Amino acid sequence: MIGLVLVAVVAGLLAGISPCILPVLPVVLVAGATGSSASTGQAADTAPPRAGIARPVAVVVGLALSFSLLILAGSELISLLHLPQDSLRDAGIALLILVGLGFLIPPLGALLERPFARIRARRPSGRGGGFVLGLALGVLYVPCAGPVLAAITVVGATHRVGLTAVFVTAAFAVGTAIPLLAVALAGDQLSRRVGALRRRAPQVRLAGGAVLIVMAMAIAFNAFQGLQRDVPSYSTALQGSAKVRSQLNALTGVRATSLTKCNPNSTALVECGPAPQFKGITAWLNTPGGKPLTMSQLRGKVVLVDFWTYSCINCQRTLPHVEAWYRDYAKDGFVVVGVHTPEFAFEHVVSNVRTEAADFGVRYPVAIDDSYDTWNAYDNEYWPADYLIDAQGDVRHVHFGEGDYSTTEQLIRELLADAHPGLRLPAPTNVPNLTPVGEMNPETYVGYDRLQYLVPANTVVENAPAAYHFPATLPLGGLGLSGTWTEHSQEATAGQGAEMELGFLAKDVYLVLGGSGTIEESINGRESTTVMVSGVPRLYTLYRASATGTGTLLLRVSPGVQAYDFTFG
């Protein structure tokens, strides 16, 4: 556990200096700067001599405490109360605005600090207001982390809070508090050394309140969304190591397998341990009589377990390679098992999977993993993901995502040659690699559960028809709605006059659609085409070009059509 705690401290430290936290830095700096010159409701010349140091510390302590309590209990609380997932964030924004108003309105500031003054049985010194401010910041800070925080969040949501989770959460909070405390103290020193700030305490207090309110509104309207999305986390590599992943899995209650020791970037065969059994499979496709397969039955075969879901464009680009390997090497003892683990509700329907698998030309066995039991047995996290298993039943290679097909095929050939000495294999397959390279839009969901890129962001009405309006300007990567839409958790259903626009950077644009109707689409005001939507919900191609470029896609959607998820190539 010591190693995991140390990693949590370092991960918190890295998160504390990552671009993700830039939205809260001005708030922390203002908290420090107003600490010695003014408390939330009082001028500097009435504050105790050391209030300036105490207040920045109180801000960071409040942040660490609310962050930790949120992670350990917040997810469970909002689940029990059936509140939206954004409730805690919204509460933090409201509290931040309230504290800002406390700077602007001294009587309100004194009222906010009064409970803390009573606890200390002394008049407020600014530490109480700083602590309240820290509590608000802790809620807003939650998105700024990686797998360590994700694991702790799962603990809170699944009611498995234990001593290890508490230690790891506290370690992350300590790590992230260090750079924030430095910023707060810098603000304090600034206000101490610049005499003008002390002479103008009321003006400083008013400016600080204005900054708090402006930053709260900016966070509420996702003004920093692009920065947080485009700059990667510094701590991903550290938290993604095999040892740490294994410990995080133990923390969340997911059974860690020896597969966590596998290096997915290896270009040679490795020893990853026995392949997990197929678990919780609700149906089998492309097997005699729909009978299940087991790992013991497949002993002596070289097996590729391919996790996929049919509406995933990354999986669709991988399928031709997997199908070609199965076609060319099946006679030599090679078996593919496509484990279909659904992302959307319609992908749980076996008949939908059967139809789409047939349309894609999938001939190898497909296991329907609706309960995610096999996904969890493999400790998998990706679509697509490939696990290559030798004739003895051991996993020898792992690959996540698209690409690197030649390496996977070469390792398949090596395992077949090992299993059957003297075997004469056919020439390697020659399927074009269509893995996209370069910058492009991130995956863009339309349902409110993951509606990250809607502009403006605060206009969503959940589970009821509502009128929407396009923004005056649409940024690159932004999604706009107009007309009547009903936002559901996974998709949005079009009503009267429904339109959608997307600012894209890509070569190809795809959209998962369901229902029945038509979509009239245009690119940059021209090239109007009609897309007919019917049958099984699936991925539709909206735009293809010879090279990556930017543009605005406008869709006029007939009532009843369901839009799920944009992906790009």
In the chain the domains, ranked by start, together with CATH numbers, are 2-236 (no CATH), 258-419 (3.40.30.10), 444-568 (2.60.120.260)
**Span 56-72, average pLDDT:** 65
Higher pLDDT, 205 or 362: 362
pLDDT given at position 176: 66
pLDDT given at position 297: 92
**Span 280-300, average pLDDT:** 93
**Span 86-107, average pLDDT:** 70
pLDDT given at position 211: 72
Higher pLDDT, 347 or 4: 347
CA-nearest of 102, 156, 137 to 27 is 137
pLDDT given at position 80: 53
Higher pLDDT, 265 or 251: 265
The three-point CA angle 394-399-400 to 5° equals 135
pTM, two decimals, is 0.54
Higher pLDDT, 179 or 223: 179
Total Cβ atoms within 10 A of residue 48: 13
Higher pLDDT, 61 or 14: 61
pLDDT given at position 38: 38
134-148, 349-363, 374-388: segment of lowest average pLDDT:
134-148
Total Cβ atoms within 10 A of residue 111: 13
**pLDDT score of 325 more than 80:** yes
**pLDDT score of 502 more than 50:** yes
pLDDT given at position 396: 93
* DSSP type of residue 399: E
60-64, 86-90, 149-153, 551-555: segment of lowest average pLDDT:
149-153
- Mean residue pLDDT of the chain comes to 75
CA-nearest of 217, 230, 232, 312 to 477 is 230
| pLDDT band per the 50, 70, 90 thresholds, residue 200 | low
| pLDDT band per the 50, 70, 90 thresholds, residue 37 | very low
Interval 447-492: pLDDT, tens: 998 888 999 877 789 899 999 999 999 999 999 999 999 999 889 9
**pLDDT score of 381 more than 80:** yes
pLDDT given at position 27: 57
Given a contact cutoff of 8 angstroms between Cβ atoms, the answer to whether 318 and 404 are in contact is no
| β-bridge mates for residue 334, sequence order | 302
**370: Cβ–Cβ under 8 A, 6 or more apart, which residues?**
280, 282, 341, 342, 348
**Span 305-330, average pLDDT:** 93
Higher pLDDT, 66 or 15: 66
| pLDDT band per the 50, 70, 90 thresholds, residue 238 | very low
| pLDDT band per the 50, 70, 90 thresholds, residue 153 | very low
Given a contact cutoff of 8 angstroms between Cβ atoms, the answer to whether 208 and 216 are in contact is no
**pLDDT score of 333 more than 70:** yes
pLDDT given at position 17: 52
pLDDT given at position 457: 78
- Please provide the size of the chain in residues: 569
| pLDDT band per the 50, 70, 90 thresholds, residue 162 | low
Distance CA 421, CA 398 (A): 24
Distance CA 112, CA 99 (A): 8
Q: CA torsion sign, 157 to 158 to 159 to 165?
A: negative
Over pLDDT 70: what percentage of the chain?
A: 60
88-97, 402-411, 475-484, 536-545: segment of lowest average pLDDT:
88-97
Higher pLDDT, 53 or 523: 523
**pLDDT score of 124 more than 50:** no
Distance CA 475, CA 462 (A): 24
Residue where the block lists tokens 């300007």 = 473
pLDDT given at position 233: 36
pLDDT given at position 89: 57
Angle between helices 163-193 and 147-157 (to 10 degrees): 120
| pLDDT band per the 50, 70, 90 thresholds, residue 47 | very low
HSE, CB side, 13 Å, CA atoms: give it for residue 480: 19
pLDDT given at position 97: 78
Interval 406-458: pLDDT, tens: 999 999 999 999 999 988 999 999 998 888 878 889 889 999 988 889 998 77
pLDDT given at position 436: 83
pLDDT given at position 354: 92
Residue type at 113 in one-letter notation: E
141-145, 232-236, 395-399, 418-422: segment of lowest average pLDDT:
232-236
Residue 510: in which H helix or E strand, if any?
Answer: strand 499-514
Rounded to 5 degrees, φ, ψ at 164 are -60, -45
Given a contact cutoff of 8 angstroms between Cβ atoms, the answer to whether 500 and 457 are in contact is no
CA-nearest of 466, 299, 462, 468 to 389 is 299
**pLDDT score of 12 more than 70:** no
Distance CA 107, CA 447 (A): 43
| pLDDT band per the 50, 70, 90 thresholds, residue 19 | very low
